[in-house]
Amino acid sequence: MMDTITKEVRSRNMAAIKGKNTKPELFVRRLLYSNGYRYRLHRNNLPGKPDILLKKHNTVIFVHGCFWHQHPGCKYASKPKSNIKFWRKKLGLNVKRDGENIRKLKEIGYNVLIIWECETDNKNKDELMNKITRVLHG
C-alpha cells in the first residue's frame, strides 16, 4: 500500500514527534507527584536516559510509545505499510537498544519499570498506580 501523503510531509510529521515531555510521560509524572513521589527527569548519566528516576527507590521508569518501542500484542504497535524495510530495521533497533539499556541498568542495581503509552489514561489510573507501587515497594 502506498503512503497517502508526500515524502516531505511524512518527514515533517515524523520529525515533529517529541521524545521528552510527551502526554503519556506527563500523565505518569502527575500521577507520581499526586501520590507523594518525587523524582528526577531524563538523567543522561544513566543508560538509555530514563524518563523518570526515583532515586529514593532505586528505580527508573521509561514511558514508551507503543509504536516506537513495539509494545507486544498492542493495537498501537502496528507495522507501517510503506517503506517496510526501513521501518523494520528502525523499530527493531529501538527494541534491541531498549533491551541493552534495561540490562545495563539492572547490572548497576536499578529496578526498571516500563510504562506503555496505552496504559496512560484516566480509566487505568488506579491499575497503573498499583503497578508502580508494586515495583517501588517490592
Q: How do the domains of the chain map onto residue ranges?
A: 17-136
- Cβ contact 95:70 at 8 Å: yes
Model confidence over 51-97: pLDDT tens digits?
999 999 999 999 999 999 999 999 999 888 888 899 999 999 999 99
Look up residue 40 and give its three cell numbers. Answer: 528526577
The residue length of the chain stands at 138
**Residue 80: what are its φ and ψ, rounded to 5°?**
-60, 150
Other CB atoms within 10 Å distance of the CB of residue 100: 12
Strand partners, 112: 60
Which single residue is written with the C-alpha cell 498506580?
129
Level-2 CATH architecture, domain 17-136: 3-Layer(aba) Sandwich (3.40)
31 within 8 A of 129, measured Cβ to Cβ: yes
Q: Find, among 126, 96, 128, the residue nearest to 114 by Cα.
A: 128
What is the pTM assigned to this prediction? 0.86
Return the closest-CA partner of residue 104 out of 54, 59, 53, 48: 48
Please, what is the average pLDDT of the chain? 91
